[in-house]
Structure formats: structure tokens, C-alpha cells
């Protein structure tokens, strides 16, 4: 079997890990392994290919299952471990550690954990070794359609644990050389305006970049420049190769060899990879560059497509968990898109070879990348930047050819005391870049249907490149129309309710057709909020126009995302019971109609403006047959008063569980009055109040409710039809994947 075919089989076999709802059991793996061994002895090539396909698939599953087993073992009870500090995050008062051994037993794979240390974060630095008593727990991410997949990213980077330190004893107090270099550079960067950006460029540490600058880079499409990846490693390698070639000009002919520049380029790229903290994107770029160098030095007769496939297969075979990494697919597919663009849509030779057409060549490159990467950006980021083309035309030359080399020179000169001028020059170049990026208006374009755009962009370019468009133009238009009709089926449901997974908080979206009403907006965090991160992208992904926002009460976990929503839709009406200027009323007796749905406010009485849990705005939403009761954080005392006042109006099919399922709410008298079928609770797995109460869950089940909560299921969706409804849960039905499951203690054990 050829090496090229083996690489293709590797990519195909390990890509299956992206789609498995659960990992195969040991007996199934044994069966596949035995069958693969039998087929491998066949002389038929297709059977041999199937044998390798099965064997490599088993290898990927074993690696994934090994990490899951480690997670389960390390989170059962407190443990004694020897760890190495990887990074420190003073702003979050956390450190990242790698668990080297547990009770004297070496760990493989050596997983990483992020632990909270509070004000003691100053005691730690990268490279130290400690003996610690730890209480660890698995990473459990918020899960919504189109949202950031935290669990998949954690498993891809072998960082699936969090927790806290119970006891600690230092073994090796010395910091690593990289940490010392970073500390020395940090002192030089303290007074600079964009010192955090320079740290990101040199060391891959992005948590010191101001939030407004990070947002500017994302909206202008140049955020990739701040993440050390293939382009940066390639730039370092090219610099090493160029410097060595210049030095060779002064050497005797017998000492000039193409081998030496290649080795120097790899050495410089390796140094930069180490300086960046050996992050996964940099390591992948380094491995791919090493493979390419081996092919080149040994004169293997591979074309560019084959080298790409060999590198992709080699990377996945070295670590099957790369298949879960968004950055792996971004970098790998970006290279593939470059090959496609330059091979199939190249500039005429006259424009492609002369230096005076360099601006046109760069414009051609950026245009191709913007077009071909659009479907992938829609899939991963729910959009693309409309100003990315001019922004990258400015930023890439400036950062690559000036800022980064000058910052690297300043870093080398730091021990001599003559680095100040170069740090200033690098900072001034970033000042110029930010000024240029802030000139045009924001141009972020939400693109939500990645599969449609993939069909239109990639399929359309293939249709054009194959010249089929000239011979069968109407066939192509018919095919495009079929794709449009397939991606936009008619909506059969009359209305829909989605409880989004916002962690500890509440956000419920009620939609009819292409319009939506939001009840509560989730929490606000240190650098963002649920409205900006979760609700707005979710509404745009589903093509919904926001008609109104209802805030139940004034606690942060219920109104924290309001600012993020209003920053995108500033004219959106807001309804509360807080008697705020410009807000609509939400007091008992208020009613309004929205299409087929009637809204009736059952609580609080007019004049209750404290905004506490018992002042939550309780609303009944009904279509005349099915109904939903929204209760906010109502507690037992107010529940009793509500039942006394509105007992005859409380019956509802669906109930939003009051106060996240705490033991202070969901009184039996309320549940009997509601007499519903589905109870939906919004909560976080690791909340400080240990909600939901197991007694409350049992109370709902005895009352005849089907219990569902976001901690277990992620997003919960109700589709209501004319005389029936359907409930779907993200982890179980909407997007079931093995890497989305509840790792560690079983859900029913909490």
C-alpha cells in the first residue's frame, strides 16, 4: 500500500470520531480489530484498505477512551499528585497544571487541569513542580446550537479538568527558562499601550490583550495574527533560511550546501515553537514543516496535494485527538484552500511571477482565502468579516514584516539593556495598525448556514472550474435551486420554545415564524455576557427578528445579557416589573397578543418594584391549546400567594422550573395547580448552591412532569404543532456526540 493511500485512509478513519454519538465498547473494538487482521492477509487491495481503515479507527477510539478513563479515575475522589505548572493567569486567579503522576504512578496521557488558587497565584510560575492534594472535576461546557464547544476543545487539547488545591508542597521552586524570559519581557512591556498584543505575538499569551482590542481584531478578521500558528512558524523558518543563505554567500563553494539553511530554518522555527509554549497549533505546524523538510531532503517525488495529505494523515496518526480541534481543521483546510486557489484559479503567469505585481498577487491571495474559507468560518464562528480583505492586506505585511521581527529583535536585546527603542517601535506599529482598523465601520457579517454556503461556494467554483457551466448551464441552476429548497424547508411548527444553556441563569426564546421574544437574558461575566456570546448568535443563526425582551427580575443571572442584546438591537422594547423609564409594564393583569400567542402576566401585583426573587414577572403564554408558564426565580412564599390569586389560570402544559430547581421553590401546591407535562430547569452543573435539589426533581416526577434541565441536556427545544408537541434535548437528540456527554459522576448522582 502506498504512503499516500495510507494517509488518506488515516484521515477518513479518524474523522469518524467527529460524528460518533458514543464510543464503541471493548467487544465491538475487538471484533473490528479481528476482522481487520483477517482482511489484512488478503491480496485484494480494497480489502487491505478496509483492514487499515478498521485498525486506524480502533487506534483513534482507544486514544479517546483512554482520556475518558483518565477523567473518570482522576475525578472520583481527592488525589495526591505531582504536577508541573504550565501557565499562570493572574487576572482569573487560576493556574494550569499538568498531572505528571498520581500516588507515585506516572500518568499517560498526562492530562492538564485549570485550578483556582485565588490571591496565591503569585506563588506560582511556569516550570515549577509541586506535590498537591487536588479535588478535580471534568470540564462541562454550555451546549447550544452553533455555540462554542468547550468540551470538544478541552478533549482536543488534553485539558478536560478543573478544580481546586487542598494542600500543596513545592518540589522544584525554580521557574522555567521560558517563564524567566517572559518575566523579563513583561517588565519592558509594562508601560507600552499594546504590550499585551506583543506578548501574544511572542509567547502566545492572549489573556492580557484588552477586550476591546480583541473584539476589534475579531470583527476585522485579523485575530489569526495574534495566535501563533503555521504562518508565524513559517515566517520564523523563512527568516532562518534567508539569514543562512545570506551568510553562505561569504563561504567557500565546498561549504555551501542546501542542507544547512534547511536545518537552521527548522532550528529557528523550533525555538519559536518552544517560546510560544508548545501550543498545539505551533506544534502541528512544526511537525508538518519537519515532514516537508524530510521529503525535500530525500527528494521524494510528491506533488503539493500529496504532501498536504501526508502531513494531515501524519498529524492525525500522531495524535487522533487533533480531529476534535477547530484550529487543526482551520489550518489544514486553509492550506488546502491555498492549493485549490493557486492550482485552479491562478493569476496569468505574467502577473504571478513579477515583483511589480506583488500587490495584485496579495489581493488575489486574500480574495481566494476570503471566498473559500467562508463556509468553514460560518460553521465555526457563525460569520465572517466584510472588511477582512483590506484589513489583512494592511495587517499581514505590517505585523509579519515589521512588528514581529522588531519585537523578536527587542526580545534578543532585552538582557543587554538596549531593547527599549525596539519595543517602542513595535508598539508604535501596533498603534498605527489599530488606528487604521478603527477607520472603517464594523463589518462583521453573520453567516449561519454553513452547509448552504459550502454547497454554493465550493460547489459553484467546482462547477465553474470543470467547465460544466458552459455545457450544462440549466442543470447547474436547477441543482442550486434544489440546494436552496433543501436547506430552507417549510416550518411545520406553529410556535417554538428554546431554553438556552447559559450556565447558571435563565434565557428562554419563544418564536413564531421568523420573530422571537426573549424571556431573561442570562448572566454577565468578567469580559462578556450571555447576550453577546450566546443569545444574539443563536437568534441570528435561526434567522429570527427580536420583537421584545422580558426581564423577570433584577438579579444578574437573569438580566446580565441585556446589554449585549441591546448593543446589537438598540430599539428592542424591554418589559420588566421594575418601573424603569422606557420599559414596558409587567404586572399582574397585563395582557397582550403576539400573532397567535396570548401573554398574560399573573405576578407580581402592581407596585412591587423591589426586583427580588419573589417579585419575578410570572407570565402565561398560550395558543389556546398548549401553554407555557414562565416563573423566573419565584420562591415558596410568593408561590402560595400566586396560587391563592390565580389558581384557575395556572394550569399549563410546560413549566419553567422556578429558581433553578432550588428547595425554596416548586411547592407541591404550585405543581398541583399547574398540572403540566414538561418541566424545564435552567442551571449549571457546578453551581455553588448545588441546584437542583434531588427532592425537587422527585417532586416533579411524582406530580407527573417530565423533568429536563440544561446541566444534563444543554439546550432544550419544544416544537409545538397544532395538536401535539415534541421535546428535543441537545446532548441526547439534537447533536448527540460522545465528546458532549456528561463525564465523571453520573447525571443521576449529581
User: Alpha-carbon distance 190 to 167, whole Å?
Assistant: 33
pLDDT exceeds 70 at position 513 = yes
- Predicted local distance difference test score (pLDDT) of residue 17: 96
Q: Which three cell numbers stand for residue 121?
A: 497565584
Cis amide linkage into residue 109, ω under 30° from 0: yes
With cut-offs at 50, 70 and 90, classify the pLDDT of residue 486.
Answer: low
pLDDT, averaged across the chain: 88
Alpha-carbon torsion (276, 281, 282, 283), positive or negative: positive
- Predicted local distance difference test score (pLDDT) of residue 319: 92
User: Alpha-carbon distance 256 to 268, whole Å?
Assistant: 19
Q: Which whole number is the average pLDDT over 52-68? A: 95
Question: Which of 85, 81, 84, 166 shows the shortest CA–CA distance to 125?
Answer: 85
Q: Which three cell numbers stand for residue 174?
A: 525554580
pLDDT exceeds 90 at position 744 = no
- Predicted local distance difference test score (pLDDT) of residue 2: 84
- Predicted local distance difference test score (pLDDT) of residue 95: 94
More confident residue, 245 or 431: 431
- Predicted local distance difference test score (pLDDT) of residue 739: 94
pLDDT exceeds 90 at position 439 = no
- Predicted local distance difference test score (pLDDT) of residue 367: 84
For residue 78, the Cα-to-chain-centroid distance in whole angstroms is 29
With cut-offs at 50, 70 and 90, classify the pLDDT of residue 377.
Answer: confident
Least confident of 34-38, 146-150, 218-222: 218-222
- Predicted local distance difference test score (pLDDT) of residue 470: 65
More confident residue, 40 or 655: 655
- Predicted local distance difference test score (pLDDT) of residue 63: 95
More confident residue, 264 or 57: 57
Q: Which whole number is the average pLDDT over 698-708? A: 95
* Cross-strand bridge partners of residue 641: none
- Predicted local distance difference test score (pLDDT) of residue 490: 62
Output b/e per residue, 267-282; b: 16+ Cβ within 10 A: ebbbebbebbbebbbb
For 498-516, give the DSSP string.
EE---SSS--EEEEETTEE
In order of 367, 619, 727, the CA distances from 650 in angstroms are 58, 10, 21
Q: What is the pLDDT of residues 615-624, one digit of tens each?
A: 999 999 999 9
With cut-offs at 50, 70 and 90, classify the pLDDT of residue 708.
Answer: very high
Most confident stretch, 91-100, 202-211, 382-391: 91-100
In order of 184, 187, 412, the CA distances from 417 in angstroms are 11, 12, 10
| Contact in structure between 568 and 409 (CB atoms under 8 Å) | no
**Alpha helices for 298-347 (secondary structure H):** 304-318, 326-344
Q: What is the pLDDT of residues 115-170, one digit of tens each?
A: 999 888 889 999 999 999 999 999 998 999 988 899 999 999 999 999 999 999 99
Most confident stretch, 175-189, 371-385, 549-563: 549-563
Least confident of 170-174, 376-380, 655-659: 376-380
User: Alpha-carbon distance 65 to 738, whole Å?
Assistant: 10
Please give, one letter per residue, the 3-state secondary structure of 349-401. HHHHHCHHHHHHHHHHHHHHHHHHCHHHHHHHHCEEECCHHHHHHHHHHHHHH
| Contact in structure between 239 and 268 (CB atoms under 8 Å) | yes
User: Alpha-carbon distance 335 to 460, whole Å?
Assistant: 20
Least confident of 11-15, 198-202, 289-293, 494-498: 289-293
| Contact in structure between 714 and 39 (CB atoms under 8 Å) | no
User: Alpha-carbon distance 259 to 665, whole Å?
Assistant: 74
With cut-offs at 50, 70 and 90, classify the pLDDT of residue 598.
Answer: very high
Burial group, residue 582, by CB count within 10 angstroms (0-12, 13-18, 19+): exposed
User: Alpha-carbon distance 353 to 106, whole Å?
Assistant: 55
Residue 138, SS3?
strand
User: Alpha-carbon distance 340 to 372, whole Å?
Assistant: 9
pLDDT exceeds 60 at position 749 = no
For 335-346, give the DSSP string.
HHHHHHHHHHSP
With cut-offs at 50, 70 and 90, classify the pLDDT of residue 705.
Answer: very high
- Predicted local distance difference test score (pLDDT) of residue 441: 65
Cis amide linkage into residue 13, ω under 30° from 0: no
- pLDDT > 70: percent of the chain: 95
In order of 79, 82, 84, 115, 188, the CA distances from 132 in angstroms are 8, 6, 10, 11, 33
C-alpha angle 589-590-594 in degrees, rounded to nearest 5: 135
Least confident of 465-479, 513-527, 607-621, 628-642: 465-479
Q: Which whole number is the average pLDDT over 354-383? A: 80
- Predicted local distance difference test score (pLDDT) of residue 458: 82
Cα-atom radius of gyration of the chain, to the nearest Å?
29
Amino acid at each position: 500500500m502506498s504512503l499516500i493511500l495510507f494517509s488518506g485512509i488515516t484521515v477518513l478513519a479518524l474523522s469518524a470520531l467527529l460524528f460518533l454519538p458514543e464510543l464503541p465498547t471493548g467487544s465491538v473494538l475487538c471484533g473490528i480489530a479481528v476482522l481487520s487482521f483477517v482482511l489484512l492477509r488478503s491480496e485484494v487491495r480494497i480489502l487491505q484498505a478496509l483492514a487499515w481503515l478498521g485498525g486506524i479507527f480502533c487506534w483513534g477510539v482507544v486514544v479517546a477512551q483512554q482520556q475518558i478513563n483518565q477523567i473518570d479515575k482522576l475525578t472520583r475522589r481527592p488525589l495526591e499528585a505531582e504536577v508541573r505548572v504550565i501557565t499562570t493567569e493572574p487576572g482569573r486567579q487560576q493556574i494550569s497544571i499538568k498531572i505528571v503522576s498520581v500516588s507515585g504512578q506516572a500518568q499517560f496521557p498526562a492530562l492538564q487541569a485549570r485550578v483556582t488558587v485565588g490571591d496565591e497565584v503569585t506563588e506560582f510560575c511556569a516550570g515549577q513542580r509541586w506535590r498537591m492534594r487536588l479535588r478535580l472535576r471534568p470540564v462541562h461546557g454550555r451546549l447550544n446550537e452553533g455555540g462554542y464547544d468547550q468540551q470538544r476543545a478541552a478533549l482536543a487539547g488534553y485539558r478536560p479538568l478543573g478544580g481546586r488545591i487542598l494542600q500543596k508542597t513545592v518540589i522544584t521552586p525554580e521557574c522555567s527558562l521560558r517563564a524567566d524570559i517572559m518575566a523579563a519581557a513583561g517588565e519592558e512591556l509594562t508601560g507600552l499601550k499594546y504590550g499585551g498584543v506583543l506578548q501574544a505575538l511572542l509567547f502566545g499569551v492572549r489573556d492580557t490583550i484588552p477586550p476591546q482590542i480583541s473584539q476589534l481584531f475579531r470583527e476585522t478578521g485579523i485575530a489569526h495574527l495574534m495566535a501563533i500558528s503555521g504562518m508565524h512558524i513559517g515566517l520564523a523558518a523563512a527568516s532562518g533560511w534567508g539569514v543562512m543563505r545570506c551568510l553562505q554567500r561569504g563561504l567557500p563553494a565546498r561549504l555551501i550546501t542546501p542542507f544547512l539553511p534547511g536545518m537552521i530554518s527548522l532550528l529557528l522555527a523550533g525555538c519559536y515553537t518552544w517560546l510560544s509554549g508548545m501550543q498545539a497549533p505551533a506544534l502541528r505546524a512544526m511537525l508538518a514543516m519537519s515532514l516537508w523538510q524530510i521529503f525535500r531532503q530525500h527528494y521524494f517525488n510528491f506533488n503539493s496535494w500529496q504532501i498536504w495529505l501526508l502531513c494531515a494523515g501524519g498529524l492525525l496518526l500522531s495524535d487522533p485527538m487533533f480531529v476534535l480541534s477547530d484550529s487543526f481543521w482551520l489550518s489544514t483546510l486553509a492550506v488546502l484552500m491555498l492549493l485549490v486557489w493557486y492550482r485552479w484559479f491562478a493569476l496569468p503567469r505574467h502577473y504571478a511571477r513579477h515583483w511589480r505585481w506583488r500587490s495584485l498577487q496579495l489581493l488575489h491571495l486574500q480574495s481566494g482565502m476570503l471566498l473559500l474559507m467562508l463556509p468553514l468560518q460560518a460553521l465555526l464562528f457563525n460569520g465572517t468579516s466584510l472588511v477582512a480583505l483590506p484589513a489583512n492586506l494592511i495587517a499581514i505585511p505590517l505585523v509579519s514584516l515589521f512588528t514581529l521581527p522588531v519585537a523578536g529583535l527587542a526580545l534578543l536585546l532585552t538582557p543587554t539593556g538596549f531593547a527599549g527603542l525596539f519595543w517602542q517601535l513595535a508598539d508604535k506599529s501596533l498603534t498605527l495598525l489599530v488606528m487604521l482598523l478603527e477607520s472603517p465601520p464594523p463589518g462583521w457579517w453573520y453567516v449561519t448556514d454553513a452547509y448552504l454556503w459550502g454547497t454554493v461556494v465550493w460547489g459553484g467554483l467546482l462547477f465553474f472550474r470543470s467547465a460544466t457551466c458552459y455545457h450544462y448551464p440549466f442543470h447547474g441552476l436547477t441543482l442550486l435551486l434544489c440546494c436552496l429548497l433543501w436547506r430552507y424547508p417549510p416550518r411545520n411548527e406553529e410556535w417554538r420554545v428554546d431554553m438556552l444553556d447559559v450556565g447558571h441563569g435563565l434565557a428562554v426564546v419563544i418564536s413564531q415564524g421568523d420573530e422571537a421574544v426573549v424571556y431573561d437574558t442570562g448572566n454577565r461575566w468578567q469580559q462578556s455576557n450571555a447576550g453577546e456570546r450566546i443569545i444574539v448568535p443563536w437568534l441570528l443563526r435561526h434567522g429570527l427578528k427580536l420583537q421584545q425582551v422580558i426581564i423577570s427580575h433584577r438579579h444578574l443571572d437573569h438580566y446580565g445579557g441585556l446589554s449585549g442584546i441591546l448593543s446589537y438591537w438598540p430599539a428592542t422594547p424591554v418589559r420588566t416589573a421594575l418601573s424603569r423609564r422606557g420599559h414596558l409594564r409587567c404586572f399582574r393583569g397585563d395582557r397582550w397578543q403576539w400573532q397567535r400567542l396570548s401573554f398574560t402576566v399573573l405576578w407580581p401585583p402592581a407596585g412591587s418594584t423591589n426586583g427580588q426573587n419573589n417579585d419575578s414577572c410570572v407570565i402565561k403564554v398560550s395558543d389556546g391549546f398548549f401553554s407555557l408558564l414562565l416563573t423566573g426565580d419565584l420562591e415558596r412564599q410568593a408561590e402560595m400567594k400566586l396560587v391563592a390569586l390565580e389558581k384557575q389560570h395556572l394550569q399549563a402544559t410546560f413549566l419553567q422550573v422556578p429558581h433553578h430547581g432550588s428547595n425554596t421553590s416548586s411547592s407541591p401546591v404550585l405543581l398541583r395547580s399547574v398540572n403540566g407535562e414538561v418541566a424545564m430547569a435552567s442551571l449549571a452543573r457546578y453551581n455553588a448552591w448545588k441546584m437542583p435539589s434531588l427532592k425537587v426533581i422527585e417532586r416533579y416526577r411524582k406530580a407527573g412532569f417530565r423533568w429536563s434541565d440544561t446541566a444534563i441536556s444543554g439546550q432544550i427545544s419544544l416544537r409545538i404543532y397544532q395538536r401535539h408537541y415534541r421535546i428535543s434535548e441537545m446532548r441526547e437528540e439534537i447533536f448527540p456526540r460522545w465528546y458532549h456527554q456528561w463525564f465523571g459522576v453520573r447525571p443521576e448522582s449529581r
